[in-house]
Amino acid sequence: MRFTTFEQGFRAELANREFARIGMAAMAIRTEKHETAPFWRAYDRLERFNAPRYRAAAERLGISDSTGAGARLRGRLVGWMPNSLRRESIRFAFPRTVEYVEDLRRLAVIGPTSESDFFDYMLRQEELQVNMMEAMLRGRNVAAESLVDRFIGDEGR
C-alpha cells in the first residue's frame, strides 16, 4: 500500500486498527474452545491495548478517528469466518503484513516529527503482529499470549 499523503496513510492505518479491533474481538469469542483460541485472545487484547493510543494520536494530529462503515463491516465479516478458513486467512495475511510494516515505516518518515514516539509504537505493534502470525502458522498459538503480555508490559511502563 502506497500513500499519497501522510493523512491518507494514517487514516488507512486507523481503519486497519478498527477493522482488527472488531474482527479480533469476534474471533476471540467464536474460537474460545478451538485450538487457536490463545492466538485470537492475544490479538484481541493487543487491539484493545492499541485503541486508546491510536485515538490519542489521531486527536493530537487533528485527524478524525472515525473510519466509516467499511472497516466495521470488514471486521464483522472476519469475525464470522468459519474455523476451517482461519489458519488460511493468517497464511494469506502474513506476507501482506510483513509488507505493510514497510509501508508504516515510510508513513512514519513523512509524519510529523513531534509524533516520533507514537510512530515507533505503531511500528512495534505491527512487528508484534508479524511475530504472532508467524508463531500461529508454526502451530504455536499459545506463544501469541506471551508475546502480547511482554509487549503490553514493556509499553505500559
Query: What band does 29 get if pLDDT is binned at 50, 70 and 90?
Result: confident
Q: In one letter, which amino acid is 104? A: L
Dump pLDDT digits (tens) for 66-121: 666 655 556 555 655 666 667 777 888 899 999 999 999 999 999 999 999 999 99
pTM of the model: 0.89
Averaged confidence pLDDT in the chain: 87
Q: Are 118 and 57 in contact (CB under 8 A)?
A: yes
Mean pLDDT of the region 144-157: 93
Res 154: pLDDT:
96
- The CATH code for residues 6-155 is 1.20.1260
Domain positions in the chain: 6-155
Output the nine-digit C-alpha cell for 1.
Answer: 500500500
DSSP letters of 58-125? HHHHT------HHHHHHHHHHHT--HHHHHHHHHHHHHHHHHHHHHHHHHHHHS-GGGHHHHHHHHHH
Report the pLDDT value the prediction gives residue 60, as an integer from 0 to 100: 96
DSSP, collapsed to helix, strand or coil, labels residue 28 as helix
